[in-house]
A and B are shown apart, each in its own frame.
Chain A
Amino acid sequence: MNLAALEAALPIPALASRGFYFAGDDRLRLSSWNSLASVTVVLTGRFLHVDGRVEAFSEVHTPNTNRTAATSSYNRAEGWLMDLSVVVTGATPQRGQTFVRVDVVRGLGSVDVVLSTLLQGYVTATKRLGYPGSPIEDSLAGQGCLRSITGTDPAAGVEISETVPTGARWRLIAFEMTLVTSGVAGNRRPTLIADDGAAAFFRAHAGTNLAASGTGNYTGSAAPQPIANLGSDIPLGLPPNALLLAAARIRTSTTAIDPGDNYGAPQYEVEEWLEAI
């Protein structure tokens, strides 16, 4: 049978061969992982019904802002999904801040079965994902979101501790902090520690002591730095490509810290990915 004869034999010949068939009890499920406020995800597409009618549809989904998964399901009649597009409105996330997945599922709640994944990847206000065409992308692949974060300014006598949020993976690029010591005699020496939430796996010791009534500006970087201090600027080494899982901490531990010693809010740069799980 030639192609023309085959198309004539099918009920919706030319279009049916280019769509994703829905049996009538299948649904589209949009899942999102997001870290930015005010993000809205818009799902648009065209659907070919069995009576030959083409429906253009648009669905709106609101992600969570704490990197946990949010899902929405949309019923579809029997027919063929022709194409699909996802884009962000309401905010302008960077790549690495809003991740979406569109599945075809059958069933409800915890007993649903994923039949197929149509779309998966990071989406922004200008970079759409489309079906067919866009590759299925892992949330940990490619470039993440570059962030410069101001941490918590600890109370006097309290160490710095910054925690990787749930649902995030960080690559620590640089870390900067200031310690102002009290007038109580004694040498202090900060150590920058990376741990997994409990056990330390990296320690960078400052090369020099900081005396009473002193100020030390500590700069941690994986890039080569001068060994000697420059004024009150004191270099710290960081491991190259320092990947940190959720719950990991970057913290200080200061030899002979006095209750009057005062760290300022740390400033650090990380590359962040969403752990879409």
Chain B
Amino acid sequence: MRVTCNSCHGIYETVSRDGLPYTHVCPPLRGMRVKVNGVESIIPYDPKFAGGVVLDDAVAVPRTSARDERPDLTKKPIDGVYPVVSDGLGVTETPAAAVPLVGF
């Protein structure tokens, strides 16, 4: 089944072609390092702060309401199955023909 993540708007198949469930985790936001009063912190990249801020392509910031379909081993299993880390804003079923895929 093809779905659209309502948190990051990424599109994916819930089951890979080899039959294994696909585990979607929303991509993080690009981060940037800022220094205020000598204290450095990492915040989501914002172009309006680009002047004077050196981007570091290695840093990232978790997306608000990110969907994370990995099992959360810190939670109590329900019927033997661990709940996912976060449902985020849920998913919307997306017909395969409705979205032209970019790629090969």
Contact = CB atoms under 8 A, between A and B. Distances in A.
A265 B103 contact: yes
Interface string A192-211: 01010001100100000000
Interface string A142-171: 000001111111110011110101110000
A37 B60 CA distance: 33
B33 to A, nearest CB: 13
Given A154-B27, A161-B28, A200 B58 contact: yes
Contact of B19 (A37, A176, A193, A253): A37
Max chain B Cβ within 10 angstroms of own Cβ: one of A160, A165, A203, A249: A165
Contacts of B16: 147, 149-150
Contacts of A191: 57
Decide if the interface of chain B is mainly helix, strand, loop or mixed. Answer: loop
B58 A36 contact: no
Contacts of B95: none
Q: How large is the interface on A (under 10, 10 to 19, 20 to 34, 35 or more residues)?
A: 35 or more
A158 B7 CA distance: 12
Contacts of A91: 19
Interface string B11-25: 111011111111111
Contacts of B18: 147-149
B58 A253 contact: yes
Given A66-B71, A148-B18, A153 B101 contact: yes
Interface of B: 5, 8-13, 15-28, 30, 57-58, 60, 70-71, 73, 80-82, 99, 101-104
Given A147-B16, A253-B57, 11 more contacts: A64-B80, A64-B81, A67-B71, A149-B22, A154-B9, A161-B27, A161-B28, A163-B70, A180-B102, A249-B25, A267-B103
